Amino acid sequence: MGEQQLDQVTSDELVYVPASECRRLLGASLPPHDVAAAFAAVARINTLYMIARAWSGHLGTSFSSLDIMSWLFLNEMRDLDKGPGACDIFFSSKGHDAPALYAVLIGLGLLPEEKIDHLRRLHGLPGHPHVETPYIQANTGSLGMGISKAKGMAIANRLAGRSRRIFVLTGDGELQEGQFWESLASAATRGLGEIVVIVDHNKIQSDTWVEQVGDLGDLTAKLSAFGWHVSRCDGHDIDAIDRTFRSLDGITDQPKVVVADTVKGKGVSFMEGPAMKAGELYAYHSGAPTEEEYANGSRELLERARRLFQAAGLGEPGLAHGWRPARREPRDTQNLISAYKDALVNQADRHPGLVVLDADLVKDCGLVPFAAKYPDRFIECGIAEQDMVSTACGLAKRGALPVVHSFACFLAARPNEQIYNQCSEGSKVVYVGSLAGLLPGGPGHSHQSVRDIAALGSIPGLLLAEPALEAEVHALFEHLINAASESSYLRLVSVKWPVPFSYPAGQRVEPGHGWIVRDGRDVVVIGYGPWLLSNAWHAIEGLASSGVTIRLVNLPWLNRVDPAWLKEAIGDCRSVVLLDNHYAHGGQAEMLAATIAGLALDPVVQVSRLGVTELPECGTNDEVLEYHGLDIASLTEALRAAAASRFPGREASLA
Amino acid sequence: MGEQQLDQVTSDELVYVPASECRRLLGASLPPHDVAAAFAAVARINTLYMIARAWSGHLGTSFSSLDIMSWLFLNEMRDLDKGPGACDIFFSSKGHDAPALYAVLIGLGLLPEEKIDHLRRLHGLPGHPHVETPYIQANTGSLGMGISKAKGMAIANRLAGRSRRIFVLTGDGELQEGQFWESLASAATRGLGEIVVIVDHNKIQSDTWVEQVGDLGDLTAKLSAFGWHVSRCDGHDIDAIDRTFRSLDGITDQPKVVVADTVKGKGVSFMEGPAMKAGELYAYHSGAPTEEEYANGSRELLERARRLFQAAGLGEPGLAHGWRPARREPRDTQNLISAYKDALVNQADRHPGLVVLDADLVKDCGLVPFAAKYPDRFIECGIAEQDMVSTACGLAKRGALPVVHSFACFLAARPNEQIYNQCSEGSKVVYVGSLAGLLPGGPGHSHQSVRDIAALGSIPGLLLAEPALEAEVHALFEHLINAASESSYLRLVSVKWPVPFSYPAGQRVEPGHGWIVRDGRDVVVIGYGPWLLSNAWHAIEGLASSGVTIRLVNLPWLNRVDPAWLKEAIGDCRSVVLLDNHYAHGGQAEMLAATIAGLALDPVVQVSRLGVTELPECGTNDEVLEYHGLDIASLTEALRAAAASRFPGREASLA
């Protein structure tokens, strides 16, 4: 993106508590409850520091879990010094709380202190847990897998004659996932008493109260009915946490669950769940604090840490300083989610049978205006994607037009068979997956949806489409709702992006047909979506001075192409570069390359493909694009090579 | 396949009760309980007839549900005469019991009587329910989706101002699926009192007792804890069924579940669950009765029907006769599942860390010998694929080598995200999906796995392989267990097939490389798996007399190809035909065609692809292959055309 389009956001000074101060605290002769409380207070400061510095992260759920995590790591986890392969096991099944866990591990010296400046950065600390990080025992971020994994670990330990306790932290919204319940019974049947699950029961999921999204009912009764030993305690009361764990020590042949009543955002008054006003959505699930929020939040957390240090006779906690890096904020961006918000309401105005389903992402999926205008047609399914899709299937069978939402990574994979089953009924459902593709790079690979085209693309009767511009959101959604007879999947990139081209006036929408973004003669580049096409556009623009003219084509259909249209789009060009915001295997480019092979064009066409070829890295958007070779510079090199292959004598002049 | 390889199995005479006799019963002035009992007795006869005639079907679960279904359709379902769009709704979530439902619908005149001869036949009555059949309200066969669908139907009905009751029949093994539990809470929160779920609690799942596979514990306590009204009754006692439904009439604002205690195989003494001896597996879940089993079973069922007719003063029930068609039983077949049985035990003997996980398909997946030899390393997960995969993930993280089993259709789709998550940890798990591909054609599209390559193929660190021969099962499994560092998916065709070629002695196993099955010069055909390659082999053999020589290549790797190997395999041929036992979109052929495009071979190569292009049809194997153009005759035509395209002057001599 051109620098002229960017505003620099002022960087702020941030503070954290260095590891040396944690060592001082841990080395003092103090009652363990006092140490844990002060350690948690320090970890909250450092969590806020990391998330502010990274410009994104999950504050609310990190804060709700920190007293529990601190107690566990200071007092329950045995043999931490023997390393992650030999100590007791802890992992978070919800995974959003990774910054809190990092703060604990850094405080204990189990992660290098300098990592505090590398949350959500390339080769740093990923936005969601990844086993490449020391003491991270499971990849999580997609919900509900924790107990299943713990069972596998427990069985492997038993087979190997190892005896280790396994602590699994879950969310409460997470309990809406079927896999959680699926995983319970056999743990009880097998008597896996080494498993202790702690439910961080902070009562709020992404957007609002769990009770409103998918009421958990009598949780103790439910969990007991599945054969688990159930305790309940205040998850911010260190005494209570200790008492509860002590009461579990004697229970060795039954899996145990502690329902810990917590407060989302605990520790910063205005971030705490109960501070949320009626009718509001919770504001601190993800994202970054503003300058003012950081200043006020940090002050509150520091005050508490000072109070606890002083009460313990430790004087003032020492502080270190860091800077929040300036963030480039492009102006004049295309915001596809915002466009979708309007498109959805527009279509809903015209179609009384249009019903919207959501899986706890009402804000991120752009559903707030619809839900406000048509509350009776808005179905909040909670974090229960399989149930959501089959519910939509039932709705469609009885005449409604369901539009189903989640993040692309979850929607394509979790209810994968349910979507196939729905399409097999020949009914019509529109699926909308946001947060599609490699960006944003911060949350990490659990959220970077680069496999959804492959996972859904072969389903007969399911048309996949991805817009590059706000205007194309409207055009495609209009088509999917009104013209298409089959089901469809609208793939939406969520990052705002400055796009250097516009939607052609009067463009006809026809599955399998795309349009020329800019014309050229030497090479044809085909791709889709806002940043992929924009980066290609800038690369092409940069190469124009070398005399290479490159045609850029947008094909917004991900699993359909009309061979005749493709032949015409290629024209006389004999070098084609196919781009994917997706794994190179199974994306649009593979379909196009295979179609080109079927055309048997003579003289032969040189075809190359660029896409993601390994598990996506976590990092800033710029870092991630560069790493995966999809930034402007990498694309420039690839296009230069493609052009050179057509002009064997001209490599030098093109370089 | 050549006729000389076939034994003809003698056809048997079969009997059924014609619809006219059902009309006589329904028209008689008799107490409704007597009518329902006699109707169920007749429906059992006709269910046995259909399954025997189709040579496959689910007897056990059909018989356990028939008294409930009969009562429902005769007495609870309102407005049946108004048609399937306007009457009360019934569907079976388990779906295996489709023959029972067909028998009921035929008995009521809601399906044409002649359909009784078309179970599991092309354009007949599918092996699992499909909405194209009148009065079938949902596609099922993959488990756990029923309540979610019912909720969608209920909400759509409410939005449209329609008031209809919705009856959903589930299995009890089915309750192991997480989606069942995921779907419960919101039905209670929304007060969907129009939903009545009946659990056909016959205590046996595919292979053995539910209690042994995945104990349901205190089912009433569990279901009550989720906010449902729970009743329990004897599912074969018509009086009790009636009383139970009457007790539900007054409950209108709470969803209701009836746990119906039933007997799997009810009505035929030797098929009934309790007749199963200790240590045996249940023999009548799927498949067809032998001649003797049919004769004895039929006699028992007829005796009961006669007794009930006579007691009701209706005299003898009239009978009609049909013939079980002869079945071609090829000799000298390749049985990949049987080879896998041995291969698994062999590897387990060498690897003490090898652990096997299964999702209630111990027989179908070839796990009986392993489970007998290594009971401590055998983990029966029940019908809980997501839990199974994440359990394997935990096992692998702690050093075990898990080998994970299910039918390909379920394994690739249901735990799709869990497999991706496991691979993202960089650990090694071997997945084995049986019943892969288009055949057998009888169970229908829920079981015809023609989407698994696409659904799994793009996962980095997951290698997909499919053997064509028993020897290749051993060779590939050896490689996946011992040589491959990454995770893998072994795709196994379950139908036995006479294969006209053998595995080359000394063949080296290398991902991305295949081998030449028979050589030729004019056209290259690439494919995989036993019947696909065999059909191609016979087509090529047939064309040899026209002077066309065709090279047939087996590439057992489904998501990897070495471009250099591919170039060599194509050689000087300028016509390539790529075959898929999978959807043409997203299968091996698309990968190969795209790779060929990347090779930019000059002179250009003509590439054509043959695979499944629409939802698979249900039918006999021959019917299904012909319908989808993958039988020998269709392949012959396709290869003839491919050869002709290379010899433009020779079309006539090739015809």
Distance CA A348, CA A375 (A): 12
Domain co-membership, B215 together with B174? yes
Whether B420 and A413 lie within 8 Å, measured CB to CB: yes
Instruction: Tell me which H or E stretch contains B567.
Output: helix B563-570
Note whether residue B120 is domain-resident. Answer: yes
Residue B638 pLDDT greater than 90, yes or no: yes
Among B275, B296, B323, give the residue marking a domain's end: B323
Phi and psi dihedrals of A295, rounded to 5? -60, -45
Domain co-membership, B245 together with B367? no
> Considering CB atoms only, which of B381, B398, B607 is closest to A153?
B398
> Considering CB atoms only, which of A138, A182, A416 is closest to B178?
A182
Domain co-membership, B287 together with B376? no
Whether A181 and B182 lie within 8 Å, measured CB to CB: yes
A586 touches chain B (CB under 8 A): yes
Assign residue A95 a region: left if phi > 0, alpha if psi is -120 to 50, beta otherwise?
left
Domain co-membership, A336 together with A213? no
Cα within 13 Å of Cα(A587), Cβ side: 28
Residue B56 pLDDT greater than 70, yes or no: yes
Distance CA B227, CA B184 (A): 8
Distance CA A379, CA A360 (A): 10
Domain co-membership, B481 together with B524? no
Domain co-membership, A583 together with A440? yes
Q: Which residue in B435, B470, B473, B439 sits closest to B334, CA to CA?
A: B470
Whether A589 and B585 lie within 8 Å, measured CB to CB: no
SS3 B76: helix
Domain co-membership, A310 together with A350? no
Among A323, A355, A385, give the residue marking a domain's end: A323
Q: How far is CA B550 from the centre of its chain?
A: 34
Entry pTM? 0.97
Whether B153 and A386 lie within 8 Å, measured CB to CB: no
Chain A neighbours among B 491-520 (CB < 8 Å)? none
Q: Give the pairing of strands B487-491 and B462-465.
A: parallel
Domain co-membership, A319 together with A410? no
Which pLDDT belongs to residue A647? Answer: 60
> Considering CB atoms only, which of A138, A189, A600 is closest to B606?
A600
SS3 A80: helix
Residue of B nearest to A610 (CA): B598
Answer yes or no: are the C-beta atoms of B370 and B363 closer than 8 Å.
no
Closest-CA distance of chain A to residue B370, Å: 17
Q: Tell me how far CA of residue A113 lies from CA of A100, A124, A322, A564, in angstroms.
A: 14, 12, 13, 59
Query: Which chain A residues are Cβ-neighbours of B425 within 8 angstroms?
Result: 131, 138-139
User: A114: exposed, middle or buried (C-beta count within 10 Å: 0-12, 13-18, 19+)?
Assistant: exposed
Question: Which residues fall within 8 angstroms of residue B466, CB to CB, at 6 or more apart?
Answer: B436, B476, B490, B491, B492, B493, B528, B529, B556, B558
pLDDT tens column, B431-453: 999 999 999 999 999 999 999 99
Read off the tokens for B520.
Answer: 């030729």
B151 touches chain A (CB under 8 A): yes
Which pLDDT belongs to residue A8? Answer: 45
List the end-to-end C-alpha distance of chain B, in Å, as a whole number: 22
Which residue do the tokens 């798990």 mark?
Answer: B429
Whether B394 and A594 lie within 8 Å, measured CB to CB: no
B254 touches chain A (CB under 8 A): no
Q: Which residue in A95, A93, A104, A23 sits closest to A67, CA to CA?
A: A104
Whether B178 and A176 lie within 8 Å, measured CB to CB: no
Distance CA A57, CA A54 (A): 7
Which pLDDT belongs to residue A170? Answer: 98
Domain co-membership, B267 together with B145? yes
Q: Would you say the ipTM is above 0.90?
A: yes
Distance CA B162, CA B149 (A): 16
pLDDT band at B98 (very low <50, low <70, confident <90, very high): very high
Note whether residue B332 is domain-resident. Answer: no
Answer yes or no: are the C-beta atoms of B150 and B181 closer than 8 Å.
no
- Percent of chain B whose pLDDT exceeds 90: 92
**Structural domain total, chain B:** 3
Mean pLDDT of B498-507: 97
Instruction: Give the orientation angle of helix A632-646 with respect to helix A530-543, to 10 degrees.
Output: 60
B420 touches chain A (CB under 8 A): yes
Q: Which of B181, B614, B646 to mutate to test the interface with A (most CBs of A within 10 A)?
A: B181
Q: Which residue in A36, A29, A27 sits closest to A245, CA to CA?
A: A36
Whether B445 and A424 lie within 8 Å, measured CB to CB: yes
Query: Which chain A residues are Cβ-neighbours of B140 within 8 angstroms?
Result: 421
Whether B454 and A455 lie within 8 Å, measured CB to CB: yes
Q: Give the pairing of strands B550-554 and B515-518.
A: antiparallel
Residue B9 pLDDT greater than 60, yes or no: no
Domain co-membership, A314 together with A337? no
pLDDT tens column, A77-102: 999 999 999 999 999 999 999 999 99
Note whether residue B566 is domain-resident. Answer: yes
CATH number of the domain that residue A382 is part of: 3.40.50.970
A406 touches chain B (CB under 8 A): no
Q: Give the pairing of strands A515-518 and A550-554.
A: antiparallel
What is the residue range of B273's domain?
3-323
User: B612: exposed, middle or buried (C-beta count within 10 Å: 0-12, 13-18, 19+)?
Assistant: buried
Read off the tokens for A105.
Answer: 């591990």
Count the Cβ atoms, other than its own, within 10 Å of residue B7. Answer: 11
pLDDT tens column, B142-184: 999 999 999 999 999 999 999 999 999 999 999 999 999 999 9
> Considering CB atoms only, which of B425, B426, B593 is closest to A594?
B593
Whether B394 and A156 lie within 8 Å, measured CB to CB: yes
> Considering CB atoms only, which of B225, B409, B454 is closest to A458?
B454
Which pLDDT belongs to residue B119? Answer: 97
Read off the tokens for A575.
Answer: 């070098």
Instruction: Give the orientation angle of helix B59-71 with respect to helix B98-107, to 10 degrees.
Output: 40
> Considering CB atoms only, which of A181, A591, A602 is closest to B181?
A181
User: A152: exposed, middle or buried (C-beta count within 10 Å: 0-12, 13-18, 19+)?
Assistant: buried
pLDDT tens column, A602-649: 999 999 999 999 999 999 999 999 999 999 999 999 999 999 876 655
Among A323, A351, A370, give the residue marking a domain's end: A323
The arrangement of strands across the sheet holding B354-358 comes to B378-380, B354-358, B401-407, B430-434, B487-491, B462-465
Residue of A nearest to B583 (CA): A458
Note whether residue B496 is domain-resident. Answer: no
pLDDT tens column, B289-338: 999 999 999 999 999 999 999 999 999 999 999 998 888 778 899 999 99
Note whether residue B425 is domain-resident. Answer: yes
Distance CA B411, CA B450 (A): 12
Spell out where A82-179 has E strands. 89-92, 166-171
Answer yes or no: are the C-beta atoms of B305 and B42 closer than 8 Å.
yes
Residue B5 pLDDT greater than 80, yes or no: no
The per-residue DSSP string of B287-334 comes to S---HHHHHHHHHHHHHHHHHHHHHTT--SPP-EEEEPPP-EEESS-B
Q: Give the pairing of strands B320-323 and B13-16.
A: antiparallel
Which pLDDT belongs to residue A648? Answer: 53
Tally C-beta pairs within 8 A across A and B: 382
Which residue do the tokens 């003490």 mark?
Answer: B352
Note whether residue B182 is domain-resident. Answer: yes
Domain co-membership, B436 together with B546? no
Phi and psi dihedrals of B527, rounded to 5? -160, -160
Closest-CA distance of chain A to residue B310, Å: 43
pLDDT band at A7 (very low <50, low <70, confident <90, very high): very low
Mean pLDDT of A337-363: 97
Read off the tokens for B611.
Answer: 């695979």
Average the pLDDT over each of A304-313, A476-485, B327-336, B514-523 and give the range with the smallest value: B327-336
Note whether residue B379 is domain-resident. Answer: yes
Count the Cβ atoms, other than its own, within 10 Å of residue A629. Answer: 15
CATH number of the domain that residue B577 is part of: 3.40.50.920
pLDDT band at A328 (very low <50, low <70, confident <90, very high): confident
Read off the tokens for B648.
Answer: 């433009």
Query: Which chain A residues are Cβ-neighbours of B446 within 8 angstroms?
Result: 421, 424
Note whether residue B567 is domain-resident. Answer: yes
List the end-to-end C-alpha distance of chain A, in Å, as a whole number: 22
Domain co-membership, A549 together with A416? yes
